[in-house]
A and B are shown apart, each in its own frame.
Chain A
Amino acid sequence: MTTDESTVDTNGVHTIERQSLRTRLLTANTFWIGLVLLGLVIVFSVLAPDAFPTVFTAQTLLIETAVLLVLAVGMTFVIITGGIDLSVGSVLIFAGMVSAKTMEAMSPNGNALNAGWDVILVGLVVAIAGGTAWGFLNGFLIAVAKIPPLIVTLGTLGAALGAASLINNGSDIRTVPTELRNTLGYGTSFGGIPNLVLVAVVITAVAAWLLHTTRFGRHTYAVGSNAEAARRSGIGVTRHLTLVYLLTGLLAGVAGFMSLAYYGSTTISAHATDNLNAIAAVVMGGTSLFGGIGSVLGTVIGVFIPAVLKKGFNIVGVQDFWQMIAVGAVLIAAVWFDQQRRRARNRL
């Protein structure tokens, strides 16, 4: 008797069963990196019991990560298809810039500080449209013209930043409507939850639903896992890839508007490393750069690990630069650990 046949005796048809919740949890990429995040929070809470585990710290931590979270959620889709988007930071700036410029142009004397909701709403639409346009350009060049994503988005990284700078001759626009800053930027709802964070949470929840329960999400995994198999199964791979990059551009547009509301400026020079931070967060969260594997929850955890490290080091009085070293170490360790586990599992 061969080993294959001996399993027949013990595992009949009726034992083709669901995996238990426990096995799913333990094999999930997100579970272990989630423990790391939890561990960090506990360590800093013990080291600084008066300063770290407070409502104020939680609020600022959440606000500071909200914009990056939206970028990283979009990046998750792109990386699951096996691609990369280096342009998100520049697209964010571009979207903020066209939005601010439009709101200025609609206001008397080119001063949008006292603009009302009608102008702000137009600004939002313009920001989303601006981001989506770059996303579509990325998607078209990658999916239709078949140029590698790294090259395309390296190109649009420079191009979007250049275009944003041209709009206002390279200087920032600082006349962001006060109404927008007071509501989306600094306002809170439900007894202290920052509005900016609420927006990010809603976007993240919608994205998680899109990725994990819809046909669009399933096809995203399929395209990243084996594009040829997806094509033979009747999936429109070209269309799907274009849509994924378009979605990422759209979210970068939304992030640009959120950044505008929070900083009250177009912050041209402040987003140079947003793309790499977003990629690092996605990869730390267990999404494979080779495509086909990943989750939105993992990305959320991946976004918070650097943020918690930074906040924690600030509070316990360690120099900020250590945070960069620590994040780098966590990133490499997370990927290494993940590879080891995956190899072990595939040997079974």
Chain B
Amino acid sequence: MSEPILRLTGVNKSFGPVHVLHDVDFAVWPGEVTALVGDNGAGKSTLVKSVAGIHTADSGLIEFRGKPVTVHSPRDAADLGIEVVYQDLALADNLDIVQNMFLGRERGTPWLLDEASMEQAARETLASLSVRTVKSVRTPVSALSGGQRQTVAIAKAVLWDSNVVLLDEPTAALGVAQTRQVLDLVRRLAEQGIGVVLISHNMADVFEVADRIAVLYLGRMVAEVPTDEVTHSQVVELITAGRSGDLGLARPESAAI
């Protein structure tokens, strides 16, 4: 097995008196989809934001390709090739697909944007992800369906030679067919060698695309296991109770002994 592309060791994060993350260990492997699951308030979003540079971890080590790094701003994360696709997507509705994908990182000189090159790259990126539902890359985002928007947001993250892509509930607001498309897209990201983190509440989605599952329970990482070694109900137990059989937190009685 290769080295993880991103590894967090003993990460703590508090907001005032609220201790959100307790000594969290987490690793992302290139070419794999790691599902990050947990109940509401378990600390999933905080963990993602710590990696994305929106929050800075209070303590703990973040290693990228084996080297310790500091991520203090979204810029730092972007420089490492870590991209986050947020739940609310953060696309500009009135701009078209190309303009959104290159927003803030336009090609060409400041005084004359290179539209042809951007359009070409946008089309190639969508094609490399086998996106076929978008008729024209010059369609304004306001005219796209929810699934298509999600596709554009993901493609935007992929455009930048990303190494790690974190997806925050990408299928939460989607219908059946659109969910299908996005899950296929998530798989293809991993096939391109990107380390993918999928945050999801949907166990069916998780078991379908994830190579390994990481479970957060009240701010602690209680299990990080390959998907084929656990069952659906074990993961649900881990999420709700923090343990399941030998997995997860130690039993209270054994801890007492």
* Chain A interface residues (CB < 8 Å from chain B): 2-5, 7-8, 11-13, 15-19, 213-216, 218-219, 221-222, 224-226, 228-230, 232-235, 288, 291-293, 345-346, 348
Contact = CB atoms under 8 A, between A and B. Distances in A.
Contacts of B137: 16
Contact of A230 (B89, B104, B127): B104
Given A8-B133, A233-B90, 9 more contacts: A2-B177, A16-B127, A16-B135, A17-B135, A18-B119, A215-B111, A215-B113, A224-B94, A235-B103
Contacts of A233: 90, 103-105
B250 interface: no
A236 B46 CA distance: 24
Secondary structure at chain A's binding surface: helix, strand, loop or mixed?
helix
Interface string B93-124: 11100011001111000111100000100010
A346 B143 CA distance: 5
A216 B142 contact: no
A221 B143 contact: no
B247 interface: no
Contact of A16 (B105, B123, B176): B123
A8 B132 contact: yes
B136 A17 contact: yes
B147 interface: yes
B95 A4 contact: no
B136 A232 contact: no
15 contacts: A3-B177, A4-B133, A8-B132, A16-B135, A16-B136, A17-B136, A18-B119, A215-B106, A226-B93, A228-B90, A230-B103, A230-B104, A234-B105, A293-B94, A345-B143
B177 A5 contact: yes
Secondary structure at chain B's binding surface: helix, strand, loop or mixed?
loop
Contact of B95 (A213, A222, A228): A222
B95 A15 contact: no
Contacts of B112: 213-214
Interface of B: 74-75, 78, 86, 89-95, 99-100, 103-106, 110-113, 119, 123, 126-127, 130-138, 142-143, 147, 176-178, 181
Contact of B181 (A4, A228, A229, A292): A4
Contacts of A221: 92, 94-95, 99
Given A13-B127, A13-B130, A214 B90 contact: no
B104 A234 contact: yes
A233 B134 CA distance: 22
A1 to B, nearest CB: 9
Contact of B136 (A18, A213, A214): A18
Given A19-B138, A222-B95, A346-B143, A232 B86 contact: yes
A234 B74 contact: yes
A226 B92 contact: yes
A348 B135 CA distance: 12
Contacts of A288: 94
A235 to B, nearest CB: 5
User: Which of B93, B126, B130, B131 counts the most A-chain CB atoms under 10 A from its CB?
Assistant: B93
B123 A222 contact: no
Given A4-B181, A11-B135, A213 B104 contact: no
